[in-house]
């Protein structure tokens, strides 16, 4: 019976950091899923030289319901999932309506549908000791003007993860929602259509990953690394969320192709 690790969005950022960290784990195979073949193959080659674990690149689009066929294809019938990491996702800066409906649909397919699909497809392969890490966001804790749909999509991931954690806890299967604030990845560059190359004061993805894994080992169901992030999440439970949505619109507006 082989124990496997599955990471979506594995070619860069937080997904790549999870892959580098988990090559030390006692598992037989690690499947790295992403769309960018060149980066995925380079990472696979690098990690394969550092571990006895078989590292398998899966060049694929995980969005929507496509993950069902991908999971079915890569998992052998007698395999057990050690760790499933749903990291694939992206954001779009700007007012709702600035982007096309098709682009918004793509984001929801990745941020929401792919998480549901991979978790659903993984259920038969989960057993005592299995772990699920769903990457949400600090934005999940309150609505945000000029980031409305992204924040809503991550609120779904957070609440879905907490509900799933309650359901799977009796089986001793752990689920955690990783909720980072700004992280030094490609996220802002993609979300701003290249206008914001780097996020100011972004946390190291390696530190975020290490903190998440420590919290998971402690049995926590939400991972928020920085104290400032924890305070912001706490404020969302105290301050009226309608006020926070307008506050984000006025003072936390992110640069986008359609302007400030």
Query: Which residues touch 16 (CB under 8 Å, ≥6 apart)?
Result: 10, 43, 205
Report the distance separating Cα 91 and Cα 145, nearest Å.
13
The 3-class secondary structure across the chain, one letter per residue, is: CCEEEEEECCCCHHHHHHHHHHCCCCCCEEEEEECCHHHHHHHHHHHHCCCCCEEEEEECCCCCCHHHHHHHHHCCCCCEEEEEEECCCCCCCCCCCCCCHHHHHHHHHHHHHHHHHHHHHHHHHCCCCCEEEEECCHHHHCCCCCCHHHHHHHHHHHHHHHHHHHHHHHHCCEEEEECCCCECCCHHHHHCCCCCCCCCCCECHHHHHHHHHHHHHCCCCEECCCHHHHHHHHHHHHCCHHHHHHHHHHHCCCCCCCCC
Catalytic annotation present for 150:
yes
Catalytic residue, candidates 93, 104, 120, 150? 150
Report the distance separating Cα 154 and Cα 179, nearest Å.
9
Q: Any idea which residues carry the catalytic annotation? A: 150
């Amino acid at each position: 019976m082989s124990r496997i690790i599955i990471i979506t969005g594995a070619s860069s950022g937080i997904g790549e950091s999870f892959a580098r960290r988990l090559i030390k784990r006692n598992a037989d195979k690690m499947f790295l899923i992403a769309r960018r073949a060149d980066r995925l193959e380079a990472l696979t080659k690098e990690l394969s030289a550092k571990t006895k674990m078989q590292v398998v690149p899966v060049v694929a689009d995980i969005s929507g319901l496509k993950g069902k066929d991908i999971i079915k294809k890569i998992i052998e019938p007698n395999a057990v999932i050690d760790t499933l990491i749903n990291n694939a996702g992206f954001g779009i800066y700007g007012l709702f309506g600035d982007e096309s409906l098709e682009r918004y649909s793509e984001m929801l397919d990745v941020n929401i549908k792919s998480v549901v699909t991979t978790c659903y497809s993984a259920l038969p392969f989960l057993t005592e000791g299995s772990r699920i890490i769903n990457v949400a966001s600090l934005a999940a804790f309150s609505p945000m003007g000029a980031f409305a749909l992204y924040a809503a999509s991550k609120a779904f991931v957070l609440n879905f993860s907490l509900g799933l954690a309650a359901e799977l806890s009796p089986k001793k299967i752990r689920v955690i929602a990783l909720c980072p604030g700004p992280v030094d990845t490609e996220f802002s560059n993609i979300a701003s259509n290249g206008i914001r190359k780097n996020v100011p004061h972004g946390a190291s993805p390696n530190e975020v990953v290490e903190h998440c894994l420590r919290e998971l080992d402690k049995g926590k169901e939400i991972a928020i690394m920085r104290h400032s992030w924890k305070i912001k999440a706490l404020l969302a439970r105290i301050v009226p969320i309608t006020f926070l949505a307008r506050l984000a619109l006025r003072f936390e507006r992110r640069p986008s192709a359609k302007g400030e």
